[in-house]
Structure 1
Amino acid sequence: MSEPKIIVLSTGSELTSGRSQDTNSSWIANELFGIGFSVSKFVVLPDDPLVLQEEIGNLAKESTKEKPVLMVMTGGLGPTEDDYTLEIACKLAGVSSVESPVARQRIEAFYRLRGKNFEEAMQTSIRQISVPETSIILNNKVGIAPGFILKLGENATLSCMPGVPGDMTEMFREELSPWISKTFSAKELHSGFRFLWWMSESLFQKEFISKEESIKNGSVVWGVAAKRGYIRVSFQSGDRKLVDSLLEKLDHVYGSKATPDIFEELPKILIKQKVTVGTAESCTGGLMAKTFTDRAGSSSYFMGAVVSYDNSVKAGLLGVQQSTLDEFGAVSRETAKEMAEGALLSLKTDYTISVTGIAGPGGGTPQKKVGLVYFGIGQKDGGTEIHEHYFPFPRASFREYAAHTGLYLLYDLLKRKG
């Protein structure tokens, strides 16, 4: 079948009310891009059966033989009364629902493990293990509710998955993605990205994007997403050479400020070089340590952290001299240096990252304003690098900027050392 018009839908009143964020749609779009498909649009719908039926029905009508419609929907497959996805799908297709034998076995086992009788919960759980009778079942290997693929007319297809991210991601990769690749024709797309550190979206567009002919004439599609401390710039084209050329130019123009995903690459470098790292954190409150340990396998290179929020801890656990604190203050180059070097001794690592700053909203002075932060990169083989930055943002944002920057500074040092 020819390349489809893909629409990603999410349902949930918690999404349309702003109480929760839709993270599923962007994840699905990224996965689809990886297998050669692009998304036409995102749609977020409330838990309202009339709205769901009207919107999905209208989207199905957009399909043609030359351009079929594929809707990839998440949410609304649970056991509660406000889960309408199955009901609406059956109405639109004019079919009844039936139990999935595999889902039935999973939910019975679920209740048995908890010493409960599934039959007692049948009325509330039956919809959770049901699918439209003419559908292709997408088995759930993580949770309970199965997904399904259902034809809505000759050229429209509705695929539905649970809204729980863990259930959905496994189901998409193991079940839905292979079906899409087998059913529809994909176009060959090439992509690449870079992180640009301490760069604004508007400045990047002015300095770089506005001068690129391949972007002006539509040969390359670009995108940018603002993060804490960096922007993520991406390029996409059917021509691999155009993407590679833009990435090479980006690296040339921005030098060390243009990086791959350091949160992926830094652990690889640490493992490859067989070195260890620890953190000495004040204003970030352990956020750098959390960023390291969010990754499975981090125990092979991350040894620990000292959260020295108070000066007494800086002195007692990290060996910062009281005279340094008295003369230069907690937020200073001198203190950041002694924190990094003290952590090397305390944690017995090859490298350390120290950070001390003024997160705000109070605590600033005319000489040291809110947002000022110092970093120390300690090295077992000698020499401590000190870096000064200024992040005049709200407290939560400041802490993320500082934590991300600390990891970048270590990445940059390791790259320079080779």
Structure 2
Amino acid sequence: MAKIAQIIIGDELLSGKIQDLNLKWLADFLLPTGFKLNSSEIIGDEESQIIETLKNALAKNDAIIVTGGLGPTKDDKTKAVLAQFLGSQLEENQAAIELVTEHYKRFGKEWSKGHNGYHLIPSGVTPLKNPQGLAPGLMAEIEGKLIFCAPGVPREFQHMTSEVIYPLLSEKIATQSSELEIFNIRTFGIPEEKIFHEICPGLWEELEKFGSVSSLPQIMNVDITLRLTKDSELENKKIQIIEILKKTPIWKSVWQIGTIPLAAYIIEKAKEKNLTISFAESCTGGLTASNLTDISGSSSVFLGSVVCYANEVKTGLLGVKEQTLKDHGAVSAQTAFEMAEGARQSMKSDIAISFTGIAGPGGGSVEKPVGTVGIGWSTKNKTDSKLYQFHGDRLKLKERFMTKGLFKLLQIIESM
């Protein structure tokens, strides 16, 4: 399998000013291909460090994808360093001029040489189209190996990689690997260690008979991913894998065979059954509503959310009883029960989910420590609630509260 190295350049990444978003995308993009992401390294703008990193990566890989440093400012040093690495000079390139002119026209602008140095590239290097931005990418060929330089802006990087760089990789680097298909098994509620070491100790080895296996623990679920060769036995392999899973204790925790995000999957399932959804959110502060409305088309099933942080809002808008708050407190199964029922009735939804908890770091007690959350659910046939306990910092707890409620929502949708 051909090996790819990623080199991410930028002092702003190492200082924590921005976060790199390209590594995960590139890893996901290359996963089903005949190319393996062999390494990824974040380095600063120091020229000697860039050159040393290029040298080491080229010795161990078939191709390198460099991200960042192609812009017009003084700290954008990728072109100059690449020229130094290749023992060449920056020179005016007619193909680069044509690309930059085309890029500017796309945005309704006119480019001239006085604007920047986009037309200057190392001699012997090929400029590449940037489908979403202004600065051209670069491709250098060295003794059968390739160096690509792409913008660091995620939108530009992703489009250039998929539309320009990947076709060139496929054309110029031979790979012995067959085309692959990702078979993703999504489970909920069982930790990764428990799945493979306690509940199903031989499952990994059984799945490896069909292809390479990887496991990715997430907030409250685990993705078990197989890379299956696309051949005449592909569909039969899938059937056999599902039959193996059905015989294990984790089958009841498998909520999807696929890669659809939880919120999008909920929207899809609610649409299929023509169900509407609402929320009452205290401790999650609208996070759950935001998660659902990130999905295009959510308006067909999602009606709204009451962010009821104060008790006065719980009583005034949702009809939570003053006596319930007095007897059991805002963070209780009883309050979550009345919040869910109130949200469903006030917004006239088919299903309502409520959240009331303590995200910390303060506010906890011996009886109700930080991480306690009451989650309620209500349909026309039944309203219920339960108190749960989670661990983590404030932001992680809010995410865990939300995720637990969304999985409860999915369970209700699938039962209706």
- Checking the alignment, whether the CA contact within 8 Å between 1:352 and 1:378 is kept in structure 2 is yes
What are the Cα deviations for residues 1-53 of structure 1, in whole angstroms up to 9, with x where unaligned?
Answer: xx422112211123334444332112112101233322122222221111111
- Residues 1:258 and 2:254 aligned together: yes
List per-residue Cα deviations over 1:207-260 (Å, max 9, x = no partner).
257424637978743333332222333233548566765555446422343223
Taking structure 1 as reference, are residues 204 and 16 closer, same or farther at Cα in structure 2, changes over 3 Å only? farther
AA aligned opposite 1:29: A
**Distance of aligned partners of 1:135 and 1:253 in 2 relative to their CA distance in 1, 3 Å threshold:** farther
User: Which residue is equivalent to 1:88?
Assistant: 81
Q: 1:416 matched to which residue of 2?
A: 415
Choose from 29, 50, 54 the match for 1:31: 29
CA distance in 1, matches of 2:14, 2:336: 45
Q: Which amino acid aligns with 1:269?
A: K
The question of whether the paired residues in 1 share the 8 Å contact of 2:355 and 2:375 is answered with yes
Q: Alpha carbon RMSD of aligned pairs, Å?
A: 2.8
Question: Secondary structure at 1:77's aligned position in 2?
Answer: coil
Contact 1:130–1:146 (CA under 8 A) maintained in structure 2: no
**Cα 1:139–1:219 shift into 2, 3 Å:** same
Q: Structure 1: how far apart are the matches of 2:28 and 2:137?
A: 20
Measured at CA, do residues 7 and 254 of structure 1 come closer, stay the same or move farther in structure 2, by a change above 3 Å?
Answer: same
Partner letter of residue 47 of structure 1? D
Answer yes or no: is 1:287 the counterpart of 2:302.
Answer: no
Mark the CA change 1:62 to 1:401 in structure 2 (over 3 Å): closer, same or farther. closer
Q: What does residue range 261-340 of structure 1 map to in structure 2 within 5 Å?
A: 261-340=261-340
Contact 1:256/1:412 (8 A) holds in 2: no
The question of 1:377 aligning with 2:377 is answered yes
Q: Secondary structure at the match of 1:35?
A: coil
8 A contact 2:150–2:160 mirrored in 1: yes
**Alignment match, 2:153:** 164
Q: Counterpart of 2:73 in 1: which secondary structure?
A: coil
Q: CA deviation at 1:397?
A: 0.7
How many angstroms does 1:307 deviate by?
0.3
The answer to whether 1:230 aligns with 2:221 is yes
CA deviation string 1:266-323 (max 9, x = no partner): 1211222222212110110110011011122222222211000111100111111112
Shift in CA distance, 192/415, structure 1 to aligned 2, threshold 3 Å = same
Which 10-residue stretch deviates more, 200-209 or 166-175?
200-209
Question: Where do residues 128-277 of structure 1 align in structure 2 (5 Å cutoff)?
Answer: 130-151=120-141, 153-183=142-172, 184-185=174-175, 186-207=177-198, 210-212=201-203, 214=205, 220-238=211-229, 240=234, 245-246=240-241, 248-250=243-245, 252-260=248-256, 261-277=261-277
Query: Deviation string for 1:372-401 (max 9, x for gaps)?
Result: 11212222x321242332112211110000
| Whole-Å separation in 1 of the counterparts to 2:190 and 2:204 | 22
Q: Secondary structure at the match of 2:250?
A: helix
Contact 1:193 1:247 in 2 (8 A): no
Contact 1:215 1:221 in 2 (8 A): no
- The percent identity for this pair of structures is 30
Tell me how far 1:110 sits from its aligned partner: 5.2
Q: Is the 8 A contact 1:102 1:139 kept in 2?
A: yes
Distance, in Å, in 2 between the alignment partners of 1:18 and 1:333 is 40
Output the CA distance in 2 between the equivalents of 1:187 and 1:100. Answer: 38
Counterpart-to-counterpart distance in 2, 1:105 and 1:217: 48
Residue 361 of structure 1 contacts residue 394 of structure 1 at CA under 8 Å; is this kept in 2?
Answer: yes
- Any idea what the Cα deviations from partners look like across 1:308-363, whole Å, max 9, x if unmatched? 01111001111111122222221122211111111112222222111111112222
2:406 corresponds to:
407
Query: The residue matched to 2:31 in structure 1 has which SS?
Result: helix
Deviation at 1:121, TM superposition (A): 5.6
Deviation at 1:194, TM superposition (A): 3.0
Unaligned runs of 5+ in 2: none
* 1:86-118, Cα deviation, whole Å (9 max, x unpaired): 122233334444233122343477584xxxx86
User: Within the alignment, does 1:103 sit opposite 2:100 as a pair?
Assistant: yes
Match of 2:51 in 1: 53
For residues 328 and 61 of structure 1, the distance between their equivalents in structure 2, rounded to whole angstroms, comes to 66
Query: Contact 1:194/1:247 (CA < 8 Å) preserved in 2?
Result: no
CA distance in 2, matches of 1:349, 1:45: 51
Counterpart CA distance in 1 for 2:34 and 2:320 is 55
Deviates more, 1:98-107 or 1:323-332: 98-107
**What amino acid is aligned across from residue 103 of structure 2 in structure 1?**
R
Q: Decide whether aligned partners of structure 1 residues 126 and 247 sit closer, same or farther in structure 2, where only a CA change above 3 A counts.
A: farther
CA contact (8 A) 1:192 1:247 kept: no
TM-score scaled by length of structure 2 = 0.86
- Quick check: 1:191–1:243 contact (8 Å CA) kept in 2? no
TM-aligned CA deviation for residue 180 of structure 1 = 2.5
Which SS does the other structure have where 1:59 is aligned?
A: helix
- Counterpart CA distance in 1 for 2:23 and 2:239 is 27
Deviations 1:163-196 (A, max 9, x none): 0001111222222223333333343334322333
1:66 — aligned with what? none
Over 3 Å counting, the alpha-carbon distance change for 1:215 and 1:55 in structure 2 is farther
Q: 1 CA distance for matches of 2:336 and 2:384? A: 10
Task: Give the aligned length.
Answer: 401
